[in-house]
Amino acid sequence: MTDPLVTVLGGTGFLGSFIVNDLVEAGYSVRVACRHPGRGIRPESDRVERVTCDIRDERSLRPALEGSAAMVNAVALYEEKHGLTFDQIHVDGAHKAARCARDLGVKRQILISGIGASTASASNYVRARAQGEQAARSAFGDTTILRPSTLCSRHQGFVSALDMVTRLPVIPLFGRGNTRLQPVYAGDVAAAARRCIEMSGTTGKPFELGGGEIYTYRECIDLMLEHKGIRRPKIPLPFGSWHLLATLLGLLPKPPLNRDQVILMENDNVVGENVGTFADLGIEPLSLRAIIGGERPHPCRT
Ligand SMILES: NC(=O)c1ccc[n+]([C@@H]2O[C@H](COP(=O)([O-])OP(=O)(O)OC[C@H]3O[C@@H](n4cnc5c(N)ncnc54)[C@H](OP(=O)(O)O)[C@@H]3O)[C@@H](O)[C@H]2O)c1
């Protein structure tokens, strides 16, 4: 392939930036499309074009997708505020983007969703993710769905949350801290997105992307404490108390925790069965231990 164009909706975000960098390094031209495309320091490359686009607005989606061979939708909304709803972004927006992509002859669509997406979830966010998958597929049948577990890099995402919580003198656990998690390196998910653009056998399939090792939440805390060379007491805190705390914190202008995040922590977030995985894409994902330790991302196996 010679320099094909890929539009990354949400390309300035945490995962979006990794996807853009990975594509550029692999020789693609990339169009970053979001509401504030100038934000973020990376990537600066003449292979990267930045366009203003709101996923709710078809008139801005069309020029963002015109001429693209593939689209990756990495747009996120984690909290309903300022009149923005999960339905607008994750369901209706995903549908609009998929329909525009189909109308404009975009060949491949990758939708970033999340492990655990379910229409039966108590979380509005998680339900919207599942409905968004259906909405994207209804407009673009060959949509490849990538469902990562909790994302991190050496200093961002879940690792940054672990760093913050281990600064406390006493660490409150979600319940007994037994929820199983499979934190995944954002660079590995970015590599998976590119593989899905390139590998025709991935069209229309769901992939669940978890890191190299599964840990309980308590073990994740212990890894960070070990990395810092410190000890802290940990206390179990029932989920009912976390829900109350999330409700109270919701009164703040920028709440550090919300109800949907508490619900997410009530359920295991690990790769399930009957779905594609990193192994099918020839990628050996890093473990949380390796990410925290700053192990250099290894090259993919194929
Ligand atoms: N972070 C995690 O642990 C995690 C775990 C599993 C799945 N995921 C999924 O991974 C994807 C990326 O998440 P992330 O954490 O990288 O998100 P993020 O850092 O919050 O970035 C969100 C991106 O979406 C863009 N965006 C937001 N509203 C938009 C709109 N109305 N129109 C167009 N673009 C818009 C933002 O740019 P502007 O604000 O400039 O528009 C930004 O580029 C999401 O689908 C998320 O649900 C994340």
- Per DSSP, the residues of 41-101 read S----TTEEEEE--TT-HHHHHHHHTT-SEEEE-----S--TT--HIIIIIIHHHHHHHHH
Number of domains in the chain: 1
Q: How far is CA 266 from CA 46, 120, 131, 263, in A?
A: 44, 14, 21, 5
- Rounded distance from Cα 74 to ligand 1 centre (Å): 5
Pairing of strands 48-52, 70-73: unpaired
> Which range of residues forms the domain containing residue 13?
5-151+185-211+269-283
In eight-state DSSP terms, residue 277 is -
State how far the Cα of 301 lies from the Cα of 244, in Å rounded to an integer. Answer: 46
247-260: burial string, b at 16+ Cβ within 10 Å, e else: eeeeeeeebebbbb
- Confirm or reject: Cβ of 89 under 6 Å from ligand 1: yes
Pocket test for ligand 1, best of 9, 32, 34, 91 (most atoms within 8 A of CB): 34
Question: Does the reported pTM lie above 0.85?
Answer: yes
pLDDT at 297: 60
Give the pLDDT confidence score for residue 13 in this predicted structure. Answer: 96
pLDDT in tens, the chain (302 residues): 447 999 999 999 999 999 999 999 999 999 999 999 998 756 578 899 999 999 999 999 999 999 999 999 999 999 998 899 999 999 999 999 999 999 999 999 999 999 999 999 999 999 999 999 999 999 999 999 999 999 999 999 999 999 999 999 999 999 999 999 999 999 999 999 999 999 999 999 999 999 999 999 999 999 999 999 999 999 999 999 999 999 999 899 888 899 999 999 999 999 999 999 999 999 999 999 999 998 766 444 33
Q: Is residue 131 part of a domain?
A: yes
Write down the pLDDT at residue 295: 76
Ligand 1 within 6 A of CB of 15: yes
The CATH number of the domain holding residue 207 is: 3.40.50.720
Q: Is residue 223 part of a domain?
A: no
Residue-level pLDDT at 231: 97
Q: Say which residue the tokens 């660079």 belong to.
A: 187
* DSSP reduced 3-state for 19: helix
Is 86 within 8 Å of 94 (Cβ atoms)?
no
Q: Is the distance from the beta carbon of residue 76 to the nearest atom of ligand 1 less than 6 Å?
A: yes
Whether residue 102 is contained in a domain is answered as: yes
Cα of 76 to ligand 1 centre, how many Å?
Answer: 3
Give yes or no for residue 161 CB within 6 A of ligand 1: no
The Å distance, Cα 264 to ligand 1 centre, comes to 17
3-state secondary structure of 26: coil
> Would you say residue 95 lies in a domain?
yes
Q: Is the CB of 211 under 6 A from ligand 1?
A: no
35 is a domain residue:
yes
Which residue among 21, 75, 91 has the greatest number of ligand 1 atoms within 8 angstroms of its CB, and so is best to mutate?
75
**DSSP three-state, residue 220:** helix
Please tell me if the CB atom of residue 34 comes closer than 6 angstroms to any atom of ligand 1.
yes
Please tell me the distance from the alpha carbon of residue 16 to that of residue 257, in angstroms, as a whole number. 23
| 36 C-beta closer than 6 A to ligand 1 | yes
The reply to whether 165 falls in a domain is no
Domain assignment of residue 18, yes or no: yes
Specify if 141 maps to a domain.
Answer: yes
pLDDT for 92: 98
